[in-house]
Amino acid sequence: MSRQRYWGCPIPIIHCPDCGDLPVPEDQLPVLLPEDVELEGVGSPIKKMPAFYETSCPKCGGKAERETDTFDTFFESSWYYARFTGPDNETSMLDQRANYWLPVDQYIGGIEHAVLHLLYARFFHKLMRDAGLLNSDEPFTRLLTQGMVLKDGSKMSKSKGNTVDPQELINRYGADTVRLFTMFAAPPEQSLEWSDSGVEGAYRFLKRLWKAVQEHASKGAAPALDRDQLDAAQRALRRKVHETIQKVSDDVGRRYTFNTAIAANMELLNELARFQDDSDAGRAVLQEALESTVLMLAPIVPHIAHGLWQSLGHGEAVVDCRWPEFDPAALVQENAEIVVQVNGKLRGRVTVPAQADRDAIEAAALADENVQKFLVGGTLRKVIVVPGKLVNLVVQ
């Protein structure tokens, strides 16, 4: 594990010609690297610095030398997450806060670190546990290994000359567009193929969202929403809004599929564009819909969301708002489409109240004009009803 280089954790060992290799006494820890070094070539400068390596033996007091090799960098990267629980602790590695915070709920890293780094981290964690520094057995509860960004099918690299500088895109489209594109292009654990047209698409979506909010806001403050005074179209839009909140909450909170969360909001915005209703109730429903969209997209496109939230009449910053909650009452399906078969063949579709019983479904099926054509001249022998789905009329 030792390296002949400067950058690294010093190995706290003293070599005495008479006593052998001895640990640096605890009251002299930590051994700090000198900062007044001149880096030249590949050799470690501390190997040529007597002021660093000349010391005395902790046992016999005679002339001795410090170890000038350093640990490999993973010596530090294997337990930093634990140290983060008490970064201001000057007297020991860890304290009781490690047991409050650890294990880490969600660990995110590149696939290239998935094997060795995690192996070392687990080793260090169990070592710290055995030394009584913390009481958990594993460092991480959940792991997400993120994919790579590809360009023209291969990993971006400077030597291949296929890198994309996000700064140029940020200058041109803004950071929100670049974030939205990156999150939308693929689920996080898969590789992402860079696409300039994809960036354009993300930009167009944000412009549409901006326009939808500004158009709505230009008509003045929306009236309060009265859930009991909505017509069928208003209830249908509210259902779509709350279905989207339910789905996106799961995508973001459990599945980490930010791409499908964004897609659901794009679909919702399409529905909102089709909803033309300037009545008080209509504007109240649209207000709730746009607020929900802005709140759901805020973690992904925080800057535009901040501005849109204010346009929607709110004084506080969107970053201080709670994630939207779906209203179970809004999700209740009012109508169901029933497939009507005659002798097993599809002959029509009828819409009935979702709670309709067998008799009501049968009556609706028999009343359908197209279905009636196939009943002429026959005798109805049997009616099979699958509530919410299907009616089969058996005729001879």
Contacts of 5 (CB under 8 A, 6+ apart): 42, 44, 70
Q: Which is nearer to Zn ion, 57 or 330 (CB)?
A: 57
Contact present, 331 and 254 (Cβ < 8 Å): no
Q: Dmax of the chain from CA atoms?
A: 117
> Which range binds Zn ion by CB under 5 A, 10-18, 38-46, 203-211, 310-318?
10-18
> Cα torsion at 370, 374, 375, 377 (round to 10°)?
130
Of 16 and 365, which CB lies nearer to Zn ion in the complex structure? Answer: 16
- In whole angstroms, how close is the CB of 56 to Zn ion at the nearest point? 8
Q: Which of residues 198-257 bind Zn ion (CB under 5 A)?
A: none
AA letter at 329: A
Q: Residue 48 Cβ, how far from Zn ion at the closest point, in Å?
A: 24
Alpha carbon distances (Å) from 252 to 153, 176, 244: 28, 18, 12
Cβ-in-10-Å burial (0-12, 13-18, 19+) of 389 comes to exposed
Options 57, 199, 262, 308; binder of Zn ion; rule CB under 5 A:
57
Segment near Zn ion (CB under 5 A); pick from 17-25, 218-226, 302-310, 321-329: 17-25
CB nearer to Zn ion: give 18 or 196. Answer: 18
Asked if residue 60 binds Zn ion (CB under 5 A), the reply is: yes
Taking the complex as a whole, the smallest distance from the CB of residue 65 to Zn ion amounts, in Å, to 11
Contact between 54 and Zn ion per CB under 5 A: no
> How far apart are CB 20 and Zn ion at their closest, in Å?
8
The reply on whether position 18 binds Zn ion by CB under 5 A is yes
Between residue 100 and residue 159, which ones bind Zn ion under the rule CB under 5 A? Answer: none
Site size toward Zn ion (CB under 5 A) is 6
232 near 332, Cβ under 8 Å? no
Stretch that binds Zn ion, among 4-12, 35-43, 54-62, 287-295 (CB under 5 A): 54-62
State the nearest-atom distance from the C-beta of 60 to Zn ion, in Å. 3
Parallel, antiparallel, or unpaired: how do β-strands 149-151 and 192-193 relate? parallel
Residue 80, C-beta contacts closer than 8 angstroms, at least 6 positions apart: none
Residues in the chain: 396
Nearer CB in complex with Zn ion: 15/151: 15
**With binding defined as CB under 5 A, does residue 19 bind Zn ion?**
yes
**SS percent in the chain: helix, strand, coil, step 5:** 45, 20, 35
Residues of this chain that interact with Zn ion (CB under 5 A) are 16, 18-19, 57, 59-60
